[in-house]
């Protein structure tokens, strides 16, 4: 039986997700086959917020929001355990997150699968741009031509430039998140320097079943490839990366290394199709749950 997104079925209670619920939340994302680890869930508890629906105080569904300084916020981690599906719980959680963010004058934003897109359109979201998730179980060593940039490890002194660049490209200051990602997968924390300035950077994170590369920001395709070539040489497979469709040339290059398309995503924004980001220089996102 389906219920309204304004009400919950009998016996199900909504409350904040707490740190004591991390094992239950992780079990939900594992049940869905997702890649998150406990550190991902902690991002929402430390930098954003998460809600859970419970039965007998046992979490059976979740959703999370991650606010950014550019007056928008991400919605993600909408999960419902298999035995509790088809009751409208996911829609209730989405409606709750949307209403909460709007009350705080934040524009809800998310990255949707095609299956989820229909639900989000019904809630007021609009398509902005599309991307592809690429996955490689094994990776061939890339060949990158000679370029004017130098790729090196991200050092403490690089952070002001990296944060300024990411803020301009992503549309908000998310320095707290970037620092966490750099600690999660140090081999992927790289910068590309050209003519004495940082012309691109890459971060990543470990995952339950594969390592994720991104965000990747660069002045051009050549810099993006140089950063990825270094990371692929250092970070063990399996690997995944989410590449905007406007950078299809980069995606095609990755397929020559053994990456295949797993699924598309659509960036969607509540009430508008106008994105906050500059995806001309955004070559890979941090992940659909982070933006």
- Asked whether residue 123 is assigned to any structural domain, the reply reads no
pLDDT of residue 262: 97
Name the H helices within the chain. 22-31, 38-47, 89-103, 114-122, 159-170, 175-184, 221-234, 248-255
- Do 158 and 65 have their domain in common? no
Is residue 125 situated within a structural domain?
no
Same domain, yes or no: 257 and 142? yes
96-106: average pLDDT: 97
* Average pLDDT along the chain: 95
Evaluate if residue 33 carries a pLDDT over 80: yes
The reply to whether 147 falls in a domain is yes
Task: Assess whether 200 and 268 both reside in one domain.
Answer: yes
In a domain, 113, yes or no: no
Question: Is there a single domain that holds both residue 99 and residue 156?
Answer: no
Based on the fold, state whether residues 279 and 136 are members of the same structural domain: yes
On whether both 149 and 278 belong to a single domain, the answer is yes
Same domain for 66 and 202, yes or no, is no
208 lies in which domain range?
132-284
Q: The domain that contains 213 carries what CATH number? A: 3.40.630.90
Give the end of a domain, one of 65, 90, 105: 105
Query: Which two three-digit tokens encode residue 13?
Result: 């209670």
Q: Are strands 12-16 and 72-80 parallel, antiparallel or unpaired?
A: unpaired
> Does residue 196 lie in a domain region?
yes
The mean per-residue pLDDT over the stretch 113-123 comes to 94
Confidence of residue 6 (pLDDT cuts 50, 70, 90): low
Residue 26 within any structural domain of the chain: yes
User: Is the pLDDT reported for residue 146 higher than 60?
Assistant: no
Q: What is the pTM of this model?
A: 0.94
**Model pLDDT, residue 145:** 61
199-251 residue pLDDT tens: 999 999 999 999 999 999 999 999 999 999 999 999 999 999 999 999 999 99
> Is 90 exceeded by the pLDDT of residue 195?
no
Using CA atoms, how far residue 7 sits from 12, 14, 38, 87, 173, in Å, is: 10, 10, 30, 11, 35
pLDDT classification of 141: cutoffs 50, 70, 90: confident
262-273: average pLDDT: 98
User: Is 27 contained in some domain?
Assistant: yes
Judge if 260 and 140 occupy the same domain. yes
In a shared domain, residues 46 and 184: no
Which pLDDT does position 1 carry in this prediction? 34
Work out the burial of residue 223: count CB atoms within 10 Å of its CB; fewer than 13 is exposed, 13-18 middle, 19 or more buried.
buried
160-166 mean pLDDT: 98
Three-state DSSP state, 120 = helix
Same domain, 211 and 81: no
CATH number of the domain at 57, please: 3.40.630.30
**Who wins on pLDDT, 262 or 141?**
262
Tally the domains of the chain: 2
| 73 & 190 share domain | no
Residue 4 has pLDDT above 80, yes or no: no
Phi-psi region of 152 (alpha: psi -120 to 50; beta: other; left: phi over 0): beta
Mention every residue, 6+ apart, whose C-beta is less than 8 A from residue 145: 222
Tell whether 83 and 24 lie within a shared domain. Answer: yes
Q: Is residue 159 part of a domain?
A: yes
């Amino acid at each position: 039986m389906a219920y309204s997104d304004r009400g919950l079925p009998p016996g199900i209670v909504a409350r904040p997700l707490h740190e004591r619920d991390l094992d239950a939340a992780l079990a939900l994302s594992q049940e869905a086959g997702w890649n998150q680890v406990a550190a991902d869930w902690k991002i929402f508890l430390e930098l954003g917020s998460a809600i859970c629906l419970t039965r007998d105080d046992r979490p059976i569904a979740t959703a999370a929001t991650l606010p950014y300084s550019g007056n928008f916020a991400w919605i993600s981690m909408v999960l419902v355990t298999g035995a509790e599906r088809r009751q409208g719980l996911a829609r209730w959680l989405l409606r709750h997150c949307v209403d909460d963010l709007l009350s705080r004058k934040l524009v809800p934003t998310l990255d949707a699968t095609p299956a989820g897109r229909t639900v989000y359109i019904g809630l007021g979201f609009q398509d902005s741009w599309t991307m592809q998730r690429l996955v490689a179980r094994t990776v061939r060593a890339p060949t990158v031509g000679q370029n004017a940039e130098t790729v090196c490890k991200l050092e403490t002194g690089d952070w002001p430039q990296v944060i300024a660049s990411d803020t301009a490209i992503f549309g908000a200051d998310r320095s707290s998140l970037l620092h966490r990602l750099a600690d999660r997968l140090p081999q992927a924390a790289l910068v590309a320097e050209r003519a004495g300035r940082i012309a691109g950077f890459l971060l990543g994170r470990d995952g339950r079943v594969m390592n994720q590369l991104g965000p990747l920001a660069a002045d051009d395709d050549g810099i993006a490839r140089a950063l990825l070539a270094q990371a692929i040489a250092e970070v063990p497979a399996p690997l995944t990366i989410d590449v905007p469709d406007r950078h299809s040339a980069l995606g095609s290059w990755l397929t020559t290394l053994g990456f295949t398309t797993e699924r598309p995503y659509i960036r969607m924004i509540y009430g508008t199709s106008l994105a906050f980001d500059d995806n001309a220089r955004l070559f890979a996102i941090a992940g659909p749950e982070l933006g």
